[in-house]
Homo-oligomer: A and B are copies of this chain.
Amino acid sequence: MNLTEVKEHIVKSGLKATHQRMIVLQNLSNDSSHPTAEKLYDSLQMYNPSLSLSTVYRILDDLVEVGLINQVATKGGIKRYDANITPHNHIYCNITNEIFDFYDEELHQVIKDFFEKKQIANFKISDIKMQVNGFKVDLDQKVSFKQ
Contacts and interface: CB of A to CB of B under 8 A. Distances in A.
Contacts of A5: none
This chain: how many copies in the complex?
Answer: 2
A115 B107 CA distance: 10
B125 A133 contact: yes
A77 B78 contact: yes
Contact of A124 (B71, B79, B137): B137
A86 interface: no
A125 B141 CA distance: 16
A123 to B, nearest CB: 5
9 contacts: A104-B114, A106-B114, A122-B137, A122-B141, A123-B136, A124-B137, A127-B133, A129-B130, A129-B133
